Amino acid sequence: MRRKLVVGNWKMYGNLAWNKALLDAAVEGLRDYRNADYAICVPHPYLWQAQAILQGTNIAWGGQNMNQFEGGAFTGSVAPHMLVDFGCSYVIIGHSERRELCNESDPVVAAKFEAAVKVGMKPVFCIGESREEHEAGEAEEVVARQLDAVLTRVGAEGLAKGVLAYEPVWAIGTGRGASPHKAQSVHAFIRKRIASLDSGVAASIRILHGGSVRVANAAQLLSMPDIDGALVGNASLVADQFIAICRAAN
Ligand code: 13P
């Protein structure tokens, strides 16, 4: 039985006072809900604050990106061990916004995945097709390519050290997510592809769903057999909504 995991992705939102209110509310609201795992990925400057508030609670924290190298002349970048220094157990890797806006390629994403595992973090490895690819019926082809880039680099046993997140790009931030059945069919495809290499890893790896996961659709999505949790953007910025989605997973 795979334990459900809900990860909040704050993206580029927040400030000290607002973060504190949200983190305090999440701690309070989830204290007695111990049958699922939760994490919040905050902007890098606030990692110390997330650590200060969340350590010792049942909510983990993480970064939203990192550099694949251990150090070097990379102005503005953050190395994997720096996230570990602030207690991160997770880091989002290959989010579509970074693939699109920062030209992160499949090989770069694979290198980041490997680097995160090397320092003991769990990468939340994002895959998903764009609207054009979706409309052209290429969803499976695209997620297979993105998945294979990491599988080629670290193998199925390496993949098992992370978490997958299928986020159809056309569903992100629109309020119109994929229907549970449509989402389930791509999740099942992903799991089957992993099973062709290693059935044990396929059975145990968690595949989260992302893209307009809201209070209204969370329970239905989470009831699908191959959906093991959620990667939540917008709704993770509102305490009551994030808590409700986490409780649905619990
Ligand atoms: P929304 O939940 O706002 O659609 O964002 C999804 C996402 O990109 C999480 O990583």
pLDDT tens, N- to C-terminus, the chain (250 residues):
899 999 999 999 999 999 999 999 999 999 999 999 999 999 999 999 999 999 999 999 999 999 999 999 999 999 999 999 999 999 999 999 999 999 999 999 999 999 999 999 999 999 999 999 999 999 999 999 999 999 999 999 999 999 999 999 999 999 999 999 999 999 999 999 999 999 999 999 999 999 999 999 999 999 999 999 999 999 999 999 999 999 999 9
Q: What is the pTM of this model?
A: 0.98
pLDDT of residue 19: 98
Gap from CA of 209 to ligand 1 centroid (Å): 10
Would the CB of 162 count as within 6 Å of ligand 1?
Answer: no
β-strand partners of 161: none
**Predicted local distance difference test score (pLDDT) of residue 225:** 98
Evaluate: CB of 80 within 6 angstroms of ligand 1. Answer: no
- The tokens for 136 are 């052209």
Catalytic member of 104, 114, 167, 187 = 167
CA dist., res. 161 & res. 25, Å (int): 30
pLDDT value at residue 1: 81
Q: Is the CB of 177 under 6 A from ligand 1?
A: no
Determine whether the shortest distance from the Cβ of 233 to ligand 1 is under 6 A.
Answer: yes
Domains of the chain: 5-248 (3.20.20.70)
Active-site residue flag, 167: yes
Sign of CA dihedral 61, 24, 46, 234: positive
